[in-house]
Chain A
Amino acid sequence: MSGVTSQNTNAEHSELRILGFLCNWCSYGGADTAGVARATQPTDLRIIRVPCSGRVDPLFIAKALFNGADGVLVSGCHPRDCHYSAGNFYARRRLEVLKHFLPILGIDPARFEYTWVSASEGERWKQVVTRFTEQIHALGPAPKFEDSHPLHAMVDMALAPLAPLGTGDPQLLSSVKEAIRKKLPELDCVIGWKEGRDGLHTVPHFIRTEADLEELRIGPFAIHNLATYLPNYKGKKIGILVKGCDAKSVVELLQENLIKREDVFLFALPCQGILDMGRVDQVLGRYQHITSLKTDDKTVTVVADGKEHHFPISQYAPSKCYSCTSRMAQDADMLLGNATQIQGTPQTPPELAMLDAMSLSERMAFWKSAMDRCIRCYACRNSCPMCVCRDYCVSDSRDPHWMSQSDATREKLFFQVIHTLHLAGRCTGCGECQRSCPVGIPILALRQHCARVIRELFSGYEPGTDPKAVPPLLGYQVEEEHIKEREWK
């Protein structure tokens, strides 16, 4: 074991663990060429041969970095020279997204590079390996997730909305009911909300009869994103009540051909914000009975065990409501009110702003502290409208065994990375994952950062806004607008 100790104390001179994913047709050949030419090169790199750089799932890299690799290099054929025509075009998009994503986890993006080396470029391969190895040695051994000191930080929710938040039109409910009543005979079911364990806590509601319809609740109590349920009802004609944010999930499901437009009937609700029940429950604490629940235009007033609590929507909305610019679905089948026009640029969401202000090591420490209390109930995954693998999630897979059953904190964070990367370019930011988390981990920040990366790399692309748009990671351009060629040498 003495070797290990000397490695740690004498990092500059000893080998680090660098992993290379090389395309069989070009870069692996390039490495061979360098070898045959007896080129002198560092020996830190451990090579894994893959059929194409397009085969490299960003999770390979994330898993390597989470499990002790000090650096990861991916190398494939030059763009326009792929053995399979387009594999590296897809790879380029994915890997670029990953490179921009890593810092939010507290991982230095310089620990991961991707480049292109052809089979004849032995000399270039030598340069790439030397440069990358030097780069990793300059960074030193990767900081271990386990070694971080706990850092507990809280999201600052004192926010100003782009347009006033409130409880909405009190007359709206009766007109919504009337509209649904007319349409109900043509539909198998209409999904809305109803009272749950008490008047304050609502639950998703499946309306089939007139009696069901009477129980409908909307306004600040339209908490859940009901689009999550849509793929369950294949072949049925389903009506669904959507807020502006929920409609994006429906559009994204349409974009990905996961539901059929003709099977869905969208009732668009005008929304002025909903309650963040996590924070409401925190204020209420332990109570036995809600004896009164009143709603005026701005505030929900609750009397619990004789104590009065006021919840102005402007102070108790989830973070997504403050930067919302689309409060009502536009291309719905039935508009149940008038949309508020919203001017202004959305601010950085508070969860993300908190992480942006941190250094890399602080971020790693933050995630360590936050994910430590995760018990992997997967409420985040199952409430996500875009998580459509359902019973066949990669995190449950035993072969390949992607995720360890070990309850190590990094494994828990690794799942969040899997979820986020699978949502890259698809997540509409509805925040169901964070709302569902029983232990209040700000996991939405990861998705928000990823969405920001997608916006930057793909000309402001917003998932769930255009039913005909192809999600960015499902396509490519031969010449990418915002991605450098990474002729990295």
Chain B
Amino acid sequence: MSDYRYLQEQDIPSFLAALRALGNRVLVPTLQKGTKESVVFTPWQEGDPVLVAKATVPAKAAVLPSCETLVTYKKTKNPDNYAETSLTLTETVEAEPTVVFASRPCDAKGIAILDNPYTKGIYKDPYYMAKREKLVVISLTCNSGCETCFCHWVGGGPSSPEGSDILMTEIPAEGTKAYVLQPITAKGKEMLAKSALKDGESVVALMNEARKAAFATLSPKPDLTEAPQKVAACFANLSFWAQETERCISCGACTYFCPTCYCFTITDEGEPTSAQGGRRLRSWDTCMSSLFTREASGHNPRPSKAERMRNRVSHKFATYPENWGIFSCSGCGRCISQCPVGLDIRKIVLHAIAEAGGTVHPPKQEEAKPAKAAPVQAPKLEEVKPAKAAPAPKEDRAEARAEGKQTPSANDTEPARSPAPRRTAKKRGFIKTSLKKSGTRRR
């Protein structure tokens, strides 16, 4: 039996039920009706409908809840001497085994991007780690590109495996929808091996074709290799940022709907001396808010929306790549489609590159559709090719992923990331020179 599994649409509920029976919380996209429909990940229960549409809100909350309790604390007074108090702290690292079902590769890549600061830096975040270790991500590869999506600009693709444990691809089937499930990590492999699903080896060729076809639908992409340097070079050019953000209304939609934004704020709530005690909450924060950087003195280093958006774009396209070698953007396009005033981060980045005198080498039409020319290949599991997630990889790499060449590698439990560029001397030097010139303090 191969590692691949075959799943028909009508068998999804029993598959999910089996996952639940193993003690997992299964998050699935569900349709929420309102003035417009939205798709939100909710815990699945037997009988709930399953929708495999791209979610309006990414599955980020599975590892980084919009609010979580870090510690609870209680202060008790000594009844014999009220001046004497004692404080008890209870750490509340909570993690439930969770399966995210039918997220998209961009959502999964978002989690891979969160993994860097939360699990690979000097300080490891125990709350995040606990949830991450118990998380299995089953991503549904996309059938086509979309007007607001740009995963291929930032090193991803409709079937890129970063952050996913299992990739699921829709294949043509008679009278029903059917999917092939491909394990990416050891966790995913184990989950599929334990499942009651049928072997999918016979349909792997169909899967590859479907992925290739999806890749072929993507629009031509610009080359963002120069983006980190060029976006950083625009740092002191505040009039540029003011112009780009003139219509921004400083809400937090772009950051809260972003699968890669990971900033949070910490608040202590409740009376420590009360019966319930106090609790320390960590909740999502947004750099679009004035409060994000307002200091106790009242001084704000980012007084206007121009500075705030500069921070957001620079973080995603300059400083994060400088630290971790990949863009902090999975190209899901939610910040574009969800923005009340239609701000488009793609345009801001392209404008920044142009402003700093760079080029994006727009590809010729025939280059944009490489998948058509390439022959269909069956995936070779022996052929280990660890993912290199440097900024803007070449077409052929993304294509390789589309073909399913991506295999469980040494990086089994770790999402793919570039081994090389972590604060290279050259890049640091570059930033320093630009700082000197501008004389602006950089956060």
A residues adjacent to B (C-beta < 8 A) = 152-155, 196-198, 201-206, 224, 228-229, 278-279, 281-282, 286-290, 351, 370, 373, 375-379, 381-383, 390-391, 396, 398, 401, 404-407, 432, 434-442, 444
| Residue contact A391 to B291, C-beta cutoff 8 Å | yes
> What is the minimal beta-carbon distance from A284 to any residue of chain B, in angstroms?
9
CA distance A351 to B34 in the complex (A): 10
> What is the minimal beta-carbon distance from B207 to any residue of chain A, in angstroms?
20
Identify which of residues 266-285 in chain B touch chain A, using a CB-to-CB cut-off of 8 Å: 267, 269, 281, 283-284
| Residue contact A439 to B34, C-beta cutoff 8 Å | yes
The 7 closest A-B pairs by CB, nearest first: A278-B36, A440-B34, A391-B290, A436-B340, A382-B251, A203-B342, A440-B36
Chain B residues near A281 (CB, 8 Å)? Answer: 36, 337
Chain A residues near B289 (CB, 8 Å)? Answer: 391, 396
Contact of A407 among B66, B291, B294, B344 (CB under 8 A): B66
| Residue contact B36 to A282, C-beta cutoff 8 Å | yes
CB closest chain-B residue, reference A287: B147
Chain A residues near B294 (CB, 8 Å)? Answer: 391
> What is the minimal beta-carbon distance from B217 to any residue of chain A, in angstroms?
7
Contact of A377 among B33, B247, B256 (CB under 8 A): B256
> What is the minimal beta-carbon distance from B293 to any residue of chain A, in angstroms?
11
| Residue contact A438 to B338, C-beta cutoff 8 Å | yes
CB closest chain-B residue, reference A157: B35
- The size of the chain B interface, using a CB distance under 8 A, is 50
Chain B residues near A197 (CB, 8 Å)? Answer: 147-148, 336, 342, 344
Chain A residues near B283 (CB, 8 Å)? Answer: 405-407
| Residue contact A279 to B67, C-beta cutoff 8 Å | no
Task: Assess whether B409 is interfacial by the CB under 8 Å rule.
Answer: no
CB closest chain-A residue, reference B67: A407
| Residue contact B57 to A224, C-beta cutoff 8 Å | no
Chain B residues near A155 (CB, 8 Å)? Answer: 34-35
Task: Assess whether B236 is interfacial by the CB under 8 Å rule.
Answer: no
CB closest chain-B residue, reference A442: B35
CB closest chain-A residue, reference B38: A439
Task: Assess whether B44 is interfacial by the CB under 8 Å rule.
Answer: no
Task: Assess whether B359 is interfacial by the CB under 8 Å rule.
Answer: no
Given contacts A378-B251, A379-B340, A383-B340, contact A434 B35 (CB under 8 A): yes
| Residue contact B257 to A377, C-beta cutoff 8 Å | yes
| Residue contact A279 to B33, C-beta cutoff 8 Å | no
CB closest chain-A residue, reference B143: A286
Contact of A405 among B35, B36, B40, B269 (CB under 8 A): B269
Given contacts A288-B145, A407-B67, A437-B35, contact A203 B247 (CB under 8 A): yes
CB closest chain-B residue, reference A411: B67
CA distance A437 to B32 in the complex (A): 13
Given contacts A224-B341, A288-B145, contact A404 B269 (CB under 8 A): yes
CB closest chain-B residue, reference A228: B249
17 A-B interface contacts by CB (under 8 A): A203-B341, A206-B246, A289-B147, A290-B147, A375-B66, A377-B255, A377-B256, A382-B250, A382-B340, A383-B341, A391-B250, A391-B290, A396-B291, A439-B32, A440-B34, A441-B34, A442-B35
Chain A residues near B148 (CB, 8 Å)? Answer: 197
CA distance A203 to B33 in the complex (A): 25
Contact of B342 among A201, A370, A373 (CB under 8 A): A201
Binary contact track B209-249/A, C-beta < 8 Å → 1, others 0: 00000000101000000000000000000000000001101
Given contacts A288-B145, A288-B219, contact A438 B257 (CB under 8 A): yes
Given contacts A154-B33, A282-B37, contact A436 B57 (CB under 8 A): no
| Residue contact A196 to B342, C-beta cutoff 8 Å | yes
Of B219, B290, B338, B340, the most chain A CB neighbours within 10 A belong to B340
Given contacts A201-B342, A287-B146, A436-B340, contact A375 B257 (CB under 8 A): yes
CA distance A467 to B256 in the complex (A): 38
Task: Assess whether B144 is interfacial by the CB under 8 Å rule.
Answer: yes
Known contacts A406-B269, A440-B38, A442-B34; can you find 20 more A-B pairs with CB under 8 A?
A196-B342, A197-B344, A203-B343, A206-B246, A279-B36, A281-B337, A282-B36, A286-B144, A288-B147, A288-B219, A376-B66, A381-B251, A391-B289, A391-B291, A401-B267, A435-B340, A436-B251, A439-B38, A439-B40, A442-B35
Given contacts A370-B34, A406-B67, contact A204 B247 (CB under 8 A): yes
Of B145, B246, B249, B291, the most chain A CB neighbours within 10 A belong to B249
Task: Assess whether B301 is interfacial by the CB under 8 Å rule.
Answer: no
Of B35, B54, B289, the most chain A CB neighbours within 10 A belong to B35
Chain A residues near B340 (CB, 8 Å)? Answer: 224, 379, 382-383, 432, 435-436, 438
| Residue contact A288 to B144, C-beta cutoff 8 Å | yes
Given contacts A435-B340, A438-B338, contact A406 B35 (CB under 8 A): no
CB closest chain-A residue, reference B305: A232
Chain B residues near A289 (CB, 8 Å)? Answer: 147, 219
| Residue contact A379 to B35, C-beta cutoff 8 Å | no
> What is the minimal beta-carbon distance from A440 to any residue of chain B, in angstroms?
3
| Residue contact B67 to A405, C-beta cutoff 8 Å | yes
Chain B residues near A202 (CB, 8 Å)? Answer: 342
Task: Assess whether B43 is interfacial by the CB under 8 Å rule.
Answer: no
CA distance A38 to B147 in the complex (A): 75
Task: Assess whether B252 is interfacial by the CB under 8 Å rule.
Answer: yes
